[in-house]
């Protein structure tokens, strides 16, 4: 006997009323995509349930993949058997004997198919008795069992599920529109992207690159970060903006530690232009209140003045250690701490203003024609598309050895 199904639970998706169908279709498509490397696996929806049908694949390998899919709240291994009491007994025994670290258990039977000759209460007794007589070191605990074995008798078959594995939660990526993530090589912005994806948002990324002051390795770092993020979605289009000319001009033209404020405003202007071209409705940054000079309330007020697009800041109120914890969990931390320079670290004034004034910035900006430089930067954008194919292939390759 072997586990042949995985039952997928999708938590709050159940609350989405009329939209539910769209959410479920997306979740199903995302699961199918992530499980592409298992050729025999199928993903089915039946009567308010979603199942991965393993068709011979190792359940634990498939579960590991499912752990990176937003919209899955938990899952359980399941065995499908005919509506036959002997088969149900053997499957329940298998479930108990194949669970690790279990001393106490409980059987819960739900009889949806009323034609089945045993009532739920009787089944609880029969199965509990069967498990106790065929094993020696388990006891029943109806209140806080180590393992709950659930038996659901449906019209087509009976499903025996055991144990609950926590999923990633959130909503299926692709159900909440698209955002343009300002992706630097730092620790914060990849985490911000991950959290936007958690709420179902699909991302494209924009990166400001200032060669020769920033190297190809700095750019590669950003591509590698984006590739990690594709592990939680499908593909990410990255817009790499040649920023050198505009950046040099900004720092020639802007006195009094205002260079960084102007630079950020230019980043937002360029990002908004990309949103317009790509039909994207919001921006996302890794900004975090009070972390550095550009992230004070006054700075955000002055920088945000240039765009009417919503700017999502998923990290706004987090502590740095909370952000680092997530970056380790999603495997971006080690990439982020590679030592290559970022355009901001190179041009940043020695004493950037922590309370930049809107009227001062507007005055400095009015002193030079930045629009042409913005247009030139937008025209020079290099678009790179990163897919999760490489990740899928690499893992298959590792499995062979």
Applying CB under 6 A, among 27, 93, 127, 182 the residue interacting with ligand ATP is: 182
207 contact, one of ligand ATP, Mg ion, none, CB 5-8 Å limit per kind: ligand ATP
182 annotated as ligand-binding: yes
Which residues ranging from 248 to 287 are in contact with ligand ATP (CB under 6 A)?
A: 285-287
190 scored as a contact of Mg ion (CB under 5 A): no
183 annotated as ligand-binding: yes
Place of tokens 């008795």: 129
180 scored as a contact of ligand ATP (CB under 6 A): no
Residues 6 or more apart in contact with residue 26 via CB below 8 angstroms: 71, 172, 173, 174, 175
226 scored as a contact of ligand ATP (CB under 6 A): no
Run of H or E including 179: strand 178-182
Residue 392 burial (CB count, 10 A): 18
Edge-first strand order for the sheet with 202-209 is: 311-312, 282-284, 178-182, 202-209, 235-242, 382-387
299 scored as a contact of ligand ATP (CB under 6 A): no
Residues 138 and 183: their CA atoms lie apart, in Å, by 53
Applying CB under 6 A, among 342, 353, 378, 388 the residue interacting with ligand ATP is: 342
378 scored as a contact of ligand ATP (CB under 6 A): no
Please say which residue, 77 or 222, places its beta carbon nearer to ligand ATP.
222
214 scored as a contact of Mg ion (CB under 5 A): no
Applying CB under 6 A, among 207, 219, 265, 353 the residue interacting with ligand ATP is: 207
208 scored as a contact of ligand ATP (CB under 6 A): yes
Please say which residue, 230 or 284, places its beta carbon nearer to ligand ATP.
284
- What's the full length of the chain, in residues? 401
Give 360-368 contacts, CB < 8 A, sequence gap 24+: 360/256, 360/258, 361/258, 361/261, 361/262, 361/265, 361/302, 361/305, 364/253, 364/254, 364/255, 364/258, 364/262, 365/262, 365/265, 367/253, 368/249, 368/253
Question: Is-contact 198 169, C-beta < 8 A?
Answer: yes
Helices (H), ranges, 9-101: 20-34, 59-66, 85-97
Please say which residue, 201 or 206, places its beta carbon nearer to ligand ATP.
206
Pick the piece of the chain touching ligand ATP (CB under 6 A) from 21-29, 125-133, 183-191, 297-305: 183-191
For the bound state, the minimum distance from the C-beta of residue 16 to ligand ATP, rounded and expressed in Å, comes to: 30
Q: Which residue is nearest to ligand ATP (CB)?
A: 186
The HSE-up count of residue 72 (CA atoms within 13 Å, CB side) is 29
Round the CA-based radius of gyration of the chain to a whole number and report it. Answer: 27
151 contact, one of ligand ATP, Mg ion, none, CB 5-8 Å limit per kind: none
Residues 196 and 176: their CA atoms lie apart, in Å, by 9
292 contact, one of ligand ATP, Mg ion, none, CB 5-8 Å limit per kind: ligand ATP
105 scored as a contact of ligand ATP (CB under 6 A): no
Question: Is-contact 82 123, C-beta < 8 A?
Answer: no
Applying CB under 6 A, among 30, 92, 189, 244 the residue interacting with ligand ATP is: 189
Pick the piece of the chain touching Mg ion (CB under 5 A) from 10-18, 90-98, 183-191, 326-334: 183-191
- Residues annotated within a binding site: 182-183, 207-208, 264, 286, 295
Binding residue numbers for ATP:
182-183, 207-208, 264, 286, 295
Query: Which positions lie near ligand ATP, rule CB under 6 A?
Result: 182-184, 186-189, 206-208, 285-287, 291-292, 294-295, 342-344
């Amino acid at each position: 006997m072997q586990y042949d199904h995985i039952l997928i639970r999708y938590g709050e998706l159940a609350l989405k009323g009329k939209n539910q169908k769209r959410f479920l279709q997306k979740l199903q498509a995302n699961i199918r995509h992530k499980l592409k490397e298992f050729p025999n696996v199928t993903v089915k929806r039946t009567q308010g349930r979603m199942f991965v049908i393993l068709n011979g694949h190792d359940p634990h390998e498939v579960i590991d993949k499912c752990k990176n899919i937003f919209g899955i709240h938990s899952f359980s291994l399941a065995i499908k058997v005919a509506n036959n009491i002997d088969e149900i007994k053997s499957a329940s025994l298998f479930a108990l004997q194949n669970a690790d670290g279990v001393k106490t258990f409980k059987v819960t039977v739900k009889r949806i198919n009323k034609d089945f000759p045993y009532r739920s209460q009787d089944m609880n007794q029969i199965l509990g008795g069967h498990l106790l007589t065929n094993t020696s070191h388990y006891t029943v605990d109806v209140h806080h069992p180590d393992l709950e074995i659930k038996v659901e008798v449906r019209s087509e078959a009976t499903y025996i599920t055991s144990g609950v594995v926590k999923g990633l939660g959130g909503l299926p990526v692709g159900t909440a529109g698209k955002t343009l993530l300002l992706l630097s090589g730092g620790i914060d912005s990849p985490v911000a992207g991950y959290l936007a994806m958690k709420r179902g948002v699909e991302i494209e990324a924009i990166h400001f690159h200032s060669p020769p002051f920033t190297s190809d390795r700095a750019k590669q770092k950003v591509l590698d970060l984006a590739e990690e993020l594709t592990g939680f979605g499908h593909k990410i289009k990255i817009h790499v903006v040649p920023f050198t000319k505009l950046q040099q001009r900004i720092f020639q033209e802007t006195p009094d530690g205002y260079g960084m404020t102007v630079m950020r405003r230019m980043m937002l202007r360029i990002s908004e232009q990309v949103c317009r071209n790509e039909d994207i409705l919001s921006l996302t940054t890794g900004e975090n209140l009070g972390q550095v000079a550009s992230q004070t309330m006054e700075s955000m007020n002055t920088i945000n003045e240039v765009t009417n697009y919503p700017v999502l800041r998923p990290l706004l109120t987090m502590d740095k250690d909370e952000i680092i914890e997530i970056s380790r969990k999603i495997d971006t931390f080690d990439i982020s701490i590679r030592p290559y320079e970022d355009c901001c670290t190179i041009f940043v004034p020695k004493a950037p203003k922590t309370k930049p004034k809107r009227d001062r910035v507007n005055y400095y900006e009015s002193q030079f024609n930045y629009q042409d430089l913005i247009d030139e930067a937008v025209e020079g954008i290099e678009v790179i598309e990163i897919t999760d194919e490489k990740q899928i292939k690499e893992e298959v390759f590792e499995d062979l050895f």
